[in-house]
Structure 1
Amino acid sequence: MKMHNKYALLLTLLIGCGLGVLIPITQPVQPGTAQAMIQKAERTLAPFELQSAYGQFDQHVLRGQWTIMMFGFTHCPDICPTALSRLAALETQLTALSIPWQPKYVFVSVDPQRDTVTELDIYVRHFRPSFIGVTGHPDQLKLLARSTGAQFQVDNAPDNYQVAHSTMLFLLDPSATLRGRFDINQDLSELAAQLKRFIYMAGSQQN
């Protein structure tokens, strides 16, 4: 059976995590490169309401600190675990740089049918105790995805359950405004340095 054109196009753009297929977005960047690793963006998040193991998670929870957000799901065989492992290493790099605005790290599951908030909490804390896992009603997930520019598709057919999602990570400022997006598949020391400069400059502009 031929795949619908819309879904075929989506899978071309996204990562087919349910199948364990990786479509590289960028090649790893070598240390010392001057290439900009963060794509600038500015978009205010629409109000949304999700859940974490600690209660309601919405745009108000994001206020007051920088946030790095990624989308995925716990049954992802390799791409999500790899990204979370690299994100944990990035947190170590940023902590070592002693930036004054250490970000919060949020993993958004786009697969609420299988990912409960309890399971999410156990899953993300395996990578780093500070990580937060959130999920919720599909409509609310789509709302947050549209606000950040992320995309995902869940096909929950019993005999062929598939999930595809964007692999970019999203940087939100203390006013819960999207400020940038980046690929975690880059040199982490240089990425941390660029994030430090990016956050410092953005913070200075807000003061």
Structure 2
Amino acid sequence: MHSKYAVLSTLLFGLGLGMLLPVAQPAQPVVTQQIMQKTARNLSPFELRSVHGRFDQHTLLGQWTIVMFGFTHCPDICPTALSRLATLETHLTTHSARKTLAYVFISVDPNRDPVPELNQYVHYFSDSFIGVTGHPEQLKLLARSVGAQFQVTAKSGDYQVAHSTMLYLIGPEGKLRGRFNIDTDLAELAHQLNGFINGVRRQTT
């Protein structure tokens, strides 16, 4: 009699344990989301200024460049993006022993962002960052070339600046090669950027 109860208890315990233990699921393949929007677009001629002097389409030749639009009086979006860009720079440096990228912050608010102050502002985030600005029409030329937009409303008592938040990758031949959002996984972004740059380099050598 006792043995029957023992067998019944064992069965019930086993059924209960089976309900508690998770059922093993077959492994699913990991799908990595493509972060960068790839493209290939020529840039219109433009002329801006940095502390190093003239900054134009020829300045971009011979190196990969990440370009960001913004302004120094931006309360939160630009400082956050620049901080993340500095972290991205660190990630990219670990992927490559040699410097392959330039980082350019373009102010769309030249009235309040003279070049010396602009350069000092970007160096707060990284000494390698370059601050660039210039005449509004020249800024619009470059913005249209990469697909960015901005608007400055300079009314008395109502000074507002709006701008695109995407970042833009320009190749060593001076063409726009891609766009991406900095508000993403920076380690994965660095991995994808490095893979893309190395892939283009292999195709051209």
Q: Same fold (TM over 0.5)?
A: yes
- Post-superposition Cα deviations, 1:86-119, rounded to whole Å, max 9, x if no partner, equal 0000000000111656210000000001100001
Change (3 A) 1:109 1:33: farther
Check whether the contact 1:66–1:101 (CA below 8 A) recurs between aligned residues: no
Give the share of equivalent positions with the same residue, in percent.
63
- Post-superposition Cα deviations, 1:31-79, rounded to whole Å, max 9, x if no partner, equal x860000001111111100000110100111100000000000000000
Quote the residue 1:183 is aligned against. Answer: 181
- Post-superposition Cα deviations, 1:150-178, rounded to whole Å, max 9, x if no partner, equal 00011011211000000000000001100
Q: Which runs of 5+ in 1 are unaligned?
A: 1-31
Question: What SS class does the counterpart of residue 155 from structure 2 fall into?
Answer: coil
CA RMSD of superposed structures (Å): 1.2
Q: Tell me the number of residue pairs that the alignment of Structure 1 and Structure 2 aligns.
A: 176
1:77 aligns with 2:75: yes
Structural mapping, 1:196-207, within 5 Å: 196-207=194-205
TM-score using structure 1 length: 0.83
Over alpha carbons, which structure has the higher Rg?
Answer: 2
Check whether the contact 1:87–1:184 (CA below 8 A) recurs between aligned residues: yes
Check whether the contact 1:69–1:106 (CA below 8 A) recurs between aligned residues: yes
Match of 1:58 among 28, 34, 56: 56
Structural mapping, 1:121-200, within 5 Å: 121-200=119-198
1:42 aligns with 2:2: no
Where has structure 1 moved over 3 Å in runs of 4 or more?
none
Q: Which runs of 5+ in 2 are unaligned?
A: 1-29
Higher relative contact order (CA 8 A, sep 6+): 1
Check whether the contact 2:35–2:180 (CA below 8 A) recurs between aligned residues: yes
Check whether the contact 1:124–1:132 (CA below 8 A) recurs between aligned residues: yes
Q: CA offset at residue 206 of structure 1?
A: 2.1
TM-score using structure 2 length: 0.84
Check whether the contact 1:40–1:179 (CA below 8 A) recurs between aligned residues: yes
Structure-1 separation of matches of 2:191 and 2:156: 45
